[in-house]
């Protein structure tokens, strides 16, 4: 069934769609109903850059509040009112001891002999991975690094090996592996090399908790491998839940393990929900900084450079997630992630712009009260909470001084100028393979923007065009997700290539 914005698109054609050919390609698997409707329309003026801006118009993507709204189409997850109850007692999240929890005793934060909880970091040389390494290094006796997995940054991995002394490391890139394997082995560590090595590391003996911090859909297989092996997963790779939330949560529940959120917003919600009954919760509220371009016009956004987009005003993050934050796609992905973690439908997950990034998440209760978590914008706090849960560790971050923080402000997101948030809501409402397509198309568009081949507004335009051509189908297994992902990437690349050539010709 097609999903339409509550605000009609601006009349006119989509030049991105025309550049790749007017005939819509099939998604590889038809589903009942129509495709997601495109949000793109003609702009009032042409933008600069190789691809002319189309300035899509989108609404908030949320329908009227319904007291008993059903989960997204294709979802098999119970709503928040039907949580799994574990050993820790009732909770407002899907599992009493965590967002997804099985009925087993949670091991304490220390392994035998006081050595500390064994942790594997997938994506150790990325932004989250580096901060996780710092947390582990500063908590000897509580946490210990069993394994570290990286893509190709052997130099940074070597630094981490010398600091953390893990048993094993992995380099996914074969060329980097050949270069760095002998160097790393001289440090007395076992080295795995090549595609799939992160999956092997995710199941390594001695690790109780796996931090999944590989960027993008590439983190899905290692995340599933860790869950299948019975490891609790501290999840920083939101794309795993976006693309395959139903599959990931089913595996976690079947294996009796937890998904512990690392994103600061979901960690805040998780903390707010501890000990609350499902029937007490009205809705969840995610906060967004608004990114570096909050308040900018569409015309100004057409001139944004990659260097400007990766400079987040509050957080230190990698390039891809920084661009996602600037487009508000990151917040859209987080809405989908919250749906799978906490079992609430889109209608009961709201987003508010909070430029100071002090309030990280809020839970509105049925009696009108709202509870929130406030902290300085430092990812080490939610990382530490996920790695130490159910206990809390010592304070590693600067204390929040509310008097010094000053005024805290909140505003509605501008989905007319930044339509990616609305696209994510609509993909969640469509269900099935639609979120996987959203994620894959976005990854391709962001890569093109960072390479200087696409103007900033073209990211949303590309995602909207790919979603418009897709007919969602149910996700019955990993193959469905991978097929949708591959189709969306091919479709996005075709659109981008056609638009690039059209822009050069003009």
* For range 423-452, the mean pLDDT: 97
pLDDT digits (tens, 9 = 90+) for 366-382: 999 999 999 999 999 99
Of the chain, the percentage scoring pLDDT greater than 70 comes to 75
Q: How far is CA 226 from CA 128, 211, 220, 223, 502, in A?
A: 18, 9, 10, 5, 45
Q: How confident is the model at residue 314 (pLDDT cuts 50, 70, 90)?
A: low
314 in a known ligand binding site: no
- The arithmetic mean of pLDDT across residues 51-57, rounded, is 24
Residue 343 clears pLDDT 60, i.e. is over it: yes
Checking if the pLDDT of 34 tops 80, the result is no
Annotated binding residue at 126?
A: yes
- 71 pLDDT band (50/70/90 cuts)? very low
Q: For 57-71, 421-435, 469-483, which range has the lowest pLDDT when averaged over its residues?
A: 57-71
**Does 124 carry a binding-site annotation?**
no
289 labelled ligand-binding: yes
82 marked as binding residue: no
What is the tens place of the pLDDT at every residue in 80-124?
A: 433 222 233 334 344 333 444 433 434 444 554 557 999 999 999
128: preceding bond cis by omega (within 30 degrees): no
DSSP per position, 435-483 = HHHHHHHHHHHHHHHHTTSS-THHHHHHHHHHHHH-------SHHHHHH
Residues 226, 389, 249, 492: what is their CA dihedral angle, to the nearest 10 degrees? -80
Q: How confident is the model at residue 37 (pLDDT cuts 50, 70, 90)?
A: very low
For residue 447, give both structure tokens. Answer: 């890569």
Mean pLDDT, range 344-359, rounded to an integer: 97
Q: Which of 331, 296, 287, 324 is CA-nearest to residue 55?
A: 296
- What's the whole-number mean pLDDT along residues 228-249? 96
| Residue among 117, 346, 343 nearest 252 (CA) | 343
pLDDT of residue 342: 97
pLDDT score of 426 more than 60: yes
Residue 49, marked binder: no
What do you get for the CA distance between the two ends of the chain, in Å? 37
More confident residue, 21 or 440: 440
Higher pLDDT, 311 or 157: 157
Quick one: pLDDT at residue 319? 87
Report pLDDT digits (tens) over 114-146. Answer: 579 999 999 999 999 999 999 999 999 999 999
Question: Is 52 labeled as ligand-binding?
Answer: no
Establish whether 181 is an annotated binding residue. Answer: no
- Residue 24's nearest CA partner among 38, 3, 8, 43 is 38
Q: Is 330 annotated as a binding residue?
A: yes
Helices (H), 234-351: 238-255, 264-273, 298-301, 306-309, 319-327, 329-342
CB 175 within 8 A of CB 152: yes
SS3 78: coil
Query: Which residues pair with residue 193 across a beta bridge?
Result: 171
With a cut of 90, say whether residue 195 has pLDDT above it: yes
Average pLDDT over residues 32-59: 28
Annotated ligand binding at 125? The verdict is: yes
CATH 3.40.50.300 fits 15-61+291-327+415-505, yes or no: no
Domain ranges of the chain: 15-61+291-327+415-505
pLDDT value of position 20: 33
Q: 319 or 196: which carries more pLDDT confidence?
A: 196
pLDDT given for residue 289 in this prediction: 92
Confidence of residue 317 (pLDDT cuts 50, 70, 90): confident
Q: Is 210 left (phi over 0), alpha (psi -120 to 50) or beta?
A: beta
CA angle 414, 418, 420 (to 5 degrees): 120
Residue 275 or 95, more confident: 275
pLDDT score for 115: 75
Q: Is 98 annotated as a binding residue?
A: no
Consult the annotation and say whether 105 binds a ligand.
Answer: no
* Residue 56 pLDDT greater than 50, yes or no: no
- CB burial of 271-309 (b: ≥16 within 10 Å; e: otherwise) equals bbbbebebebbbbbbbbbbbbbbbebebbebbebebeeb
14 labelled as ligand-binding?
Answer: no
Long-range pairs for 144-148: beta carbons < 8 A, 24 or more residues apart: 144/111, 144/115, 144/116, 144/117, 144/118, 144/119, 145/119, 145/120, 145/121, 146/118, 146/119, 146/120, 146/204, 146/206, 146/207, 147/120, 147/121, 147/201, 147/204, 147/207, 148/120, 148/121, 148/124, 148/201
Give CB contacts under 8 A, 24+ apart, made by 200-203.
Answer: 200/170, 200/225, 201/120, 201/122, 201/147, 201/148, 201/149, 201/168, 201/169, 201/170, 202/120, 202/122, 202/149, 202/226, 202/229, 202/231, 203/228, 203/229, 203/231
Task: Give the predicted TM-score (pTM) of the model.
Answer: 0.79
> pLDDT grade, residue 501 (50/70/90)?
low
Flag whether 312 is marked binding.
yes
pLDDT band, residue 208 (cuts 50/70/90) = very high
Asked whether residue 361 is marked as a ligand-binding residue, the answer is no
Mean pLDDT over each residue of the chain, to the nearest integer:
81
* Residue 212 in marked binding region: no
- The answer to whether 210 and 234 are in contact (CB under 8 A) is yes
Burial of 328 (0-12, 13-18, 19+ CB in 10 A): buried
Residue 216 has what pLDDT?
Answer: 85
């Amino acid at each position: 069934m097609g999903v339409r914005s509550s605000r009609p698109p601006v009349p006119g054609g989509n030049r991105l769609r025309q550049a790749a050919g007017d005939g819509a390609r099939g998604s590889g698997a038809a589903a009942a109903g129509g495709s997601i409707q495109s949000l793109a329309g003609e702009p009032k003026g042409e933008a600069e850059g190789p691809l002319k801006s189309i300035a899509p118009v989108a609404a908030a993507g949320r329908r009227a509040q319904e007291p008993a709204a059903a989960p997204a189409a294709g979802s098999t997850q119970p709503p928040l009112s039907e949580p799994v109850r574990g050993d820790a007692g009732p909770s407002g999240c899907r599992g009493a001891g965590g967002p997804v929890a099985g009925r087993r005793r949670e091991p304490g934060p220390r392994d035998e002999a006081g050595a500390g909880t064994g942790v594997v970091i997938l994506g150790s040389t990325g932004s989250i991975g580096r901060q996780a390494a710092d947390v582990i290094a500063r908590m000897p006796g509580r946490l210990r690094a069993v394994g570290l997995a990286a893509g190709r940054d052997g130099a940074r991995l070597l630094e981490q090996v010398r600091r953390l002394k893990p048993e094993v490391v992995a380099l996914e890139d074969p060329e980097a592996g050949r270069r760095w394997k002998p160097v790393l082995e001289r440090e007395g560590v076992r080295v795995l090399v090549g595609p799939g090595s992160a999956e092997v590391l995710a199941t390594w003996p001695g690790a109780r908790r796996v931090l999944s911090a590989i960027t993008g859909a590439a983190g899905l297989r290692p995340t599933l491998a860790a869950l299948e092996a019975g490891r609790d997963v501290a999840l920083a790779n939101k794309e795993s839940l976006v693309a395959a939330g139903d599959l990931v949560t089913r595996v976690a529940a079947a294996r009796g393990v937890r998904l512990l959120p690392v994103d600061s917003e979901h960690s805040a919600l998780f903390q707010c929900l501890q000990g609350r009954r499902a029937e007490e919760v009205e809705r969840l509220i995610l906060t967004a900084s608004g990114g570096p371009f909050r308040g900018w016009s569409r015309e100004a956004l057409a001139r944004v450079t990659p260097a400007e987009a990766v400079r987040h005003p509050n957080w230190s993050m990698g390039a891809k997630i920084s661009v996602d934050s600037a487009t508000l796609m990151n917040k859209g992905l987080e809405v989908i992630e919250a749906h799978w973690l906490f079992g609430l439908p889109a209608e009961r997950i709201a987003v508010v712009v909070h430029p100071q990034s002090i309030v990280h998440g809020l839970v509105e209760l049925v009696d009108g009260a709202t509870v929130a978590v406030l902290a300085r914008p430092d990812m080490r706090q939610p990382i530490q909470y996920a790695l130490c849960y159910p206990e809390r560790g010592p304070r590693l971050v600067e204390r929040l001084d509310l008097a010094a923080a000053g005024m805290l402000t909140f505003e509605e997101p501008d989905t007319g100028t930044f339509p990616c948030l609305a696209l994510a809501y609509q993909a969640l409402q469509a269900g099935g393979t639609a979120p996987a397509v959203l994620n894959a198309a976005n990854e391709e568009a962001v890569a093109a923007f960072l390479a200087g081949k696409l103007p900033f507004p073209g990211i949303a335009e590309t995602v909207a065009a790919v979603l418009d051509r897709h007919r969602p189908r149910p996700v019955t297994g990993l193959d469905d997700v991978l097929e949708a992902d591959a189709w969306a990437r091919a479709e996005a690349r075709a659109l981008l290539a056609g638009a690039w050539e059209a822009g050069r010709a003009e």
